[in-house]
Structure 1
Amino acid sequence: MAAALAVTTLTAGTAPPATAATPPKLPRKLSGMAWASGAYMPEYVPSAQADFGKQRGARSDVAVTYSGRANWGEISSPTWLWHTWKDARQTLVISSAPFPEVGGYSLAACARGKYNKYWRTFGENAARSGMANRTVVRLAWEFNGTWVAWAAYNPVHFVKCWRHVVGSAESKAPGLRWDWSVNRGIGDALSDATRAWPGKKYVDYVGIDSYDGYPAVTTKAGWDKQLNGNQGLRYWARFAKRKGKRLSMAEWGLYPGYAWKGNGGGDNANYMKKMFGFFRENRANLAYEAYFNSPDPAHAGALSLNPKARAEYRKQVRSAIRLAQVKK
């Protein structure tokens, strides 16, 4: 619902129409915490979110998922996700590629509107599912990094692509919400991620992906760099406010796995404490946050694998629940 677009037919190369954005409703707070909170769970089913809720002592408000990105069918028709979550109460966040990773697709072609028909199909499927008003699309996440096929080496192409995608999808499902999500810090693909800002009419949330590494929060200096460094957490929190948008964190967590060997903080309770401090500081403008609860050895951030951090996480969740009760 970022663009509040009129229902219209969009042709390739035609810039999608846009009107003034309407602030979206926040995800419902099933957790009882002072802000909406949830998780990524590798099992994309409501029962996994229920298990996570039991682990931490608070239900999930948000379920972060990923659609496939090998072909257009996986991107434009993730109907299995909507079917799976239709009867659940969480807000569904779908992390979606703007085009398939293989097959010669590109930001430049997307910027010319070449893929509009696929995104109209996405909108049609979202509307048909009845889930559009409960779905956040985290489109082209971490675009300032080099590891994604949609890396914004050319930010003009990225902006035009984003606008075509949002316009096309919302022509069929205006209730969708859109999360413009950067990777914390200076990106290797785009050093100033603000150059890829699509405009407030096309965005609902300003998102940050951030983990305990590069640098790890094992020292005061490490946390200060994550928080106050160039394009750090506070930078993006302030950016969201300036744009009149709420902040989101669809990916955050520990990173003890082998992929970041020597650069992650391990089973780091201090990281949990500091991140919850950041959430409290920004709770008035925090749309949602979701812990990345992955047991994959490359990442190994699952709470079940990190007992010290898990204990601190549970403690901080209880504190966030008490904070919500005080506000009442």
Structure 2
Amino acid sequence: MSGRAARGEHGPGVHPSQGHRRPLTRARGRAWLAGAGVLALAATIVGCGPRAVGTDQLGAGATPVGAGAVSESPRPATPSASPGAGVTSAPGPAVGDPPAALPGRGVPPAAAPQVTRSSTASAAPAPRPTATPGAPGAPGAGRVPGGLSGISAGSLSEVRAWEQFRGSPVDVIVTFSDRSGWAGITQPWLGTSAERFAGFTGIWVISQPFFPTDGGDIASCAAGAYDERWRQFGDWLVRQGRGASIVRPAWEFNGAWFPWSVSKDRTNWVPCFRQVVTSIRATAPQVRIDWTFNAHNTDAFEYYPGDEYVDIVGVDTYDQWPANKDEATFTAQCEQPTGLCAGIAFARKHGKQFSVPEWGLVGTSDTGASKVGQAGGDNPVYISMMHKTMYDNADILAYEAYFNDDLPNNVHSSLINPTTHPKGAALYAQLW
């Protein structure tokens, strides 16, 4: 989710956020110094929740990827994507987004390994930092959960403020191209100045549509009509010295709020994705492709483009649908067929890393979920459980980025500038 047009990230094509997150089961400043209550809560929570998957639960041929950085293991040669080629395994019947009567139409529960701790895990996580009840936690007193860690940002100033807030460096930024026309897609706004990350030493993650808002469709994309545009984008990455960047084509495709939603054209969606990836790689062979779905909707895994077209399995997830006020609720949502835990299990099964490109708290006013009591608000439990889930699966975590946003009609997830959620901000700064 993103509503950053005001900061130049993707022009007028702002997310419609109020219908953005839906349940699977029913219709669905420096305020970070921790008070004693938050710290006591941290001490109680840290150490529980979803656990790591062991190597004995990996799919055939899959191996864990080392923690701490995006994998640079050799990629199998990408086969030529035939324009108009259909999905190799037929998706289910076309249904609305999401059908309240069909919870979890993502992947049969038995098809994905559960995210649980195993004594045969390839590498045990390092000892977890713990909170001391009654003692203030300094920013950065904890550690990032693994992989690259950062923020969704539109300027270097935002990144520096986030680093100061949490006391640890940002080494990945999630960004969104200006999707109002092809010019903003093939030559994004990044790198035009220091403030726009020209000298940023970390990794760029660029979220890209299939086509601009001024015209295009999934069928034309599948037929190869936009291939040259995507080759131009790949060439731009290389010329910027960013050929190994991460690209998220058609992120959150399983929701209904974007023109590239799979619900718009179920037959041609996968062929389109393959065309885009093949074309970008033609000129930027080191680019990393993140196939990102939304955790709060159905219709994800049956539209997997194939291992040869995906490097990272991404999951965007927020504290809503339902509010995750305790460990049991968080775990139940995480283990839903398109929940974060299901995404991690799917990544393991396919020998991939996973990412959490967008995650955050959700305000209890001016949000779609809040109107029906499904927003978590200032919820340290969610912060702690997200850290634990990522920490326990750090061996395959490519990157994670908090979505710090307070624009109207969006998720209101902001931890700083402004501090919308002081308790959540305090625990985040302590753990990261």
**Which digits, 9 at most, give the CA deviation of each residue in 1:59-100, with x for residues without a partner?**
11111110011111111111x303332311111111110101
Q: How does 1:136-215 map to 2 (within 5 A)?
A: 136-153=246-263, 154-187=265-298, 191=299, 193-215=300-322
Structure 1: segments with no counterpart, 5+ residues:
16-30, 318-328
How large is the RMSD of aligned CA atoms in angstroms? 2.3
Deviation of residue 238 (structure 1)? 0.6
CA deviation after TM superposition for structure 1 residue 111, in Å: 0.7
- Structure 2 residue 162 is matched with structure 1 residue 52: yes
Query: Which is richer in helix?
Result: 1
1:291 corresponds in structure 2 to 402
Equivalence map 1:81-92=2 (5 Å):
81-83=190-192, 84-92=196-204
1-structure distance, mates of 2:227, 2:283: 12
Aligned equivalents of 2:331, 2:281: Cα separation in 1: 40
Aligned to 2:105: none
CA gap 1:287/1:165 in 2 versus in 1, 3 angstroms: same
The within-5 A match list for 1:276-315 is 276-298=387-409, 299-303=411-415, 304-315=419-430
The number of residue pairs the alignment matches comes to 291
Equivalences for residues 246-257 of structure 1 within 5 A: 246-256=353-363, 257=365
Q: 1:124 to 1:4 in 2, by over 3 A?
A: farther
- SS for the counterpart of 1:113 is coil
Cα distance in 1 for residues equivalent to 2:295 and 2:421: 23
Larger radius of gyration: 2
Contact 1:204 1:246 in 2 (8 A): yes
Aligned to 2:206: 94
Residues 139 and 313 of structure 1: is their aligned pair in 2 closer, same or farther, counting only changes over 3 Å?
A: same
Q: What is the one-letter code of the residue matched to 1:147?
A: W
User: What is the TM-score when the length of structure 2 is the normalising length?
Assistant: 0.64
Q: How far apart are residue 178 of structure 1 and its match?
A: 0.8
Q: Does the 8 A contact of 1:178 with 1:202 survive in 2?
A: yes
Structure 1 runs, 4 residues or longer, greater than 2 Å off:
1-6, 10-15, 31-34, 82-86, 153-156, 219-222
Aligned equivalent of 1:76, options 177, 186, 191: 186
Aligned residue for 1:113? 224
CA deviation after TM superposition for structure 1 residue 108, in Å: 1.1
The secondary structure found in structure 2 opposite 1:206 is: strand
Could you give the per-residue CA deviations for residues 267-290 of structure 1, whole angstroms, max 9, x where no partner exists? Answer: 111110111111111111111100
Check 1:34–1:218 CA distance in 2 against 1; reply closer, same or farther (3 A cut).
closer
Identity among equivalent pairs (%): 36
3-state DSSP of counterpart to 1:309: helix
**SS of residue matched to 2:268:** helix
The correspondence for 2:366, drawn from 235, 243, 258, is 258
SS at match of 2:283: coil
The 2-side partners of 1:250 and 1:34 are apart by 14
Return the alpha-carbon distance in structure 1 between the equivalents of residues 426 and 414 of structure 2.
12
TM-score when normalising by structure 1: 0.83
